[in-house]
Amino acid sequence: MERIYLDNNATTIVDPAVRDAMDPFYCHMYGNPNSLHSYGIEVRPYLHQAMEQLYAGIGARDEDDIIINSCATEGNNTVILGFYFTLLKDTRKKHIVTTQLEHPCIRESCRFLEQHGVKVTYLAPNRDGMISAQMVKEAITDQTALVSVMWANNETGLIQPIKEISEICKERGVYLHTDAVQAIGKVKVDLTDVHVDYLTFSAHKFHGPKGIGGLYIRNGVSLPPLLHGGEQMGGRRAGTVDVAGMVAIGKAMELANQHLAYQNTEVRRLRDKLEDALLKIDDILVVGKRELRTPNTVYVSIRGVEGEALIWDLNQNGIAASTGSACASESLEASPILTAIGADKELAHTGVRLSLSRFTTEQEIDFTIYTINKAVSRLRKLSTSY
């Protein structure tokens, strides 16, 4: 069966150009970049090139740092836990402001710090699924050390007002971290325009490989390493650099930015086509205003159709999508975003996310529209509530 991949907010296919760029570092250029000999010498220029691509990709200045690490989860843990040691532990700054929308790696890191006396505010999104700068402003106190708000949400694709939030943080002298994992390659992430202190991303969300990520640290901002014991990354992240991975993330970043226009025209057009077709189904709800979302994401709630049952049916037809609702994962909790936007309690377990990429084709979208309609009508026939 031909398969259709519409779960690109979970992970993406590695772009063939990225794969080609990685290949030599597994075959003949396998040196350790810390070595003095020719094997080390020959790989270092490629790492410098990757750095150039990454710095250009997010608009970092030369005096800033971009630490190559394993993923955004590592980067997010480095920031949150690092803050405990630089500020929260020994000063009167004891407070972090974050949101209920964050990835578990932020939420659980914050929970961990709560056990060590740190106070954390988890902002609830408004009925549009958004965190406003005003909410952040009101949550900041004299004790606040750090604000952490994601750039774009994984479930809904909603783009949070990071620029406005950054202005509030700058004004109040509070550090700002943003998890940009869902933003890179979908919207312009340009730090010459937005003042953030820490920014995290993962290559596999923008057609790079899994297991490689980046952490941007603004010049002059301190942060202890999470991994100690080596001079790699200027001592900020010990461990032999994944050379192929680093080359790959550089290349993937460059390609992601080259395709931004395509994302905002063609991918957006396909997403809108899918969304418009779904909206023709009775009793269907799309979360978040279209113009506030990343161009590749649509999160729908279909009354009477349980989320996991729908993605089961889609999977039977070769279509990969995902659900944030109850039965999907090992956790039984309902999607918080549907609660936040004030949807009926009955809809809490109906959320399904479809996320496209620049590799998605029109044919695939047409087949998906047909299949979802078929699945919805089957499941509604079975359903107690429809």
Q: Alpha-carbon distance 175 to 260, whole Å?
A: 28
Residue 333 interacting with another protein (CB under 8 A): yes
Q: For this structure, is 110 an active site residue?
A: no
The only residue of 150, 223, 309, 340 in contact with another protein, by rule CB under 8 A = 309
Tell me whether residue 56 or residue 332 sits nearer to another protein (CB atom): 332
Q: Quick one: which segment of 3-11, 34-42, 132-140, 300-308 binds another protein (CB under 8 A)?
A: 300-308
Q: In what helix (H) or strand (E) does residue 142 lie, and over which residues does it extend?
A: none
Q: Quick one: which segment of 97-105, 159-167, 239-247, 329-337 binds another protein (CB under 8 A)?
A: 329-337
Q: How far is the CB of 352 from another protein (least distance, A)?
A: 12
Tokens of 317: 């037809």
Q: How far is the CB of 367 from another protein (least distance, A)?
A: 19
The only residue of 23, 42, 266, 308 in contact with another protein, by rule CB under 8 A = 308
Q: Alpha-carbon distance 4 to 290, whole Å?
A: 23
How far from 372 is each of 136, 304, 321, 362, 375, CA to CA, in Å? 38, 14, 11, 15, 5
Residue 312 interacting with another protein (CB under 8 A): yes
Interhelix angle for 104-114 vs 72-83, to 10°?
A: 20
Residue 73 interacting with another protein (CB under 8 A): no
Residue 334 interacting with another protein (CB under 8 A): yes
Q: Quick one: which segment of 28-36, 141-149, 207-215, 343-351 binds another protein (CB under 8 A)?
A: 343-351
Q: Alpha-carbon distance 181 to 200, whole Å?
A: 6
Residue 346 interacting with another protein (CB under 8 A): yes
How far from 18 is each of 22, 66, 244, 255, 292, CA to CA, in Å? 6, 20, 10, 9, 30
Q: How far is the CB of 383 from another protein (least distance, A)?
A: 5
Q: How far is the CB of 156 from another protein (least distance, A)?
A: 20
Q: Are 66 and 51 in contact (CB under 8 A)?
A: yes
Residue 306 interacting with another protein (CB under 8 A): yes
The residue among 376, 161, 157, 154 whose CA lies nearest residue 268 is 157
Residue 381 interacting with another protein (CB under 8 A): yes
Residue 304 interacting with another protein (CB under 8 A): yes
The DSSP secondary-structure symbol of 358 reads T
The only residue of 91, 219, 316, 363 in contact with another protein, by rule CB under 8 A = 316
Residue 122 interacting with another protein (CB under 8 A): no
Backbone dihedral region of 136: left (phi > 0), alpha (psi from -120 to 50 degrees) or beta?
A: alpha
The only residue of 135, 348, 365, 376 in contact with another protein, by rule CB under 8 A = 348
Starting at the edge strand found earlier in the chain, the sheet holding 351-355 runs: 284-286, 297-302, 351-355
Residue 255: is it exposed, middle or buried by C-beta count within 10 angstroms (0-12/13-18/19+)?
buried
Q: Which of residues 240-299 bind another protein (CB under 8 A)?
A: none
Residue 384 interacting with another protein (CB under 8 A): yes
Q: Are 187 and 152 in contact (CB under 8 A)?
A: yes
Q: How far is the CB of 341 from another protein (least distance, A)?
A: 15
Residue 326 interacting with another protein (CB under 8 A): yes
List contacts with another protein (CB under 8 A): 304-309, 312, 315-316, 325-334, 345-349, 381-386
Residues recognised as catalytic: 327
